[in-house]
Amino acid sequence: MHELERELKQLLIDVLNLEDVSVEQIDSQAPLFGEGLGLDSIDALELGVAVRKRYDVKIDADSQTTREHFGSIANLARFISGSRAAL
């Protein structure tokens, strides 16, 4: 799981062009939106598209569950791992 979290952190940095942020600076448990990393809805869309393409997972943008999955890197890693296991 830690490797997947690391991949997701790097994907986040690359997709959102977070030039001043390193993988080590992102806390896997910290919220991605609001007071955590401070991402917004546009960032969520970009990240969602990148995750869907890279990990071939189905994401329902209007689902409350999806919002929970994108709550933190750790949540997102659990979601992707669970989706892969279901295949």
**Rounded CA separation 80/69 (Å):** 9
**Rounded CA separation 18/87 (Å):** 32
**Rounded CA separation 68/51 (Å):** 15
Q: How many CA atoms lie within 13 A of 41 on its CB side?
A: 2
pLDDT tens, residue by residue, 47-56: 999 999 999 9
What pTM value is reported for the model?
A: 0.90
* Domain architecture of the chain: domains with CATH: 2-86 (1.10.1200.10)
The type of residue at 12 is: L
pLDDT tens, residue by residue, 19-42: 899 999 999 999 999 888 889 989
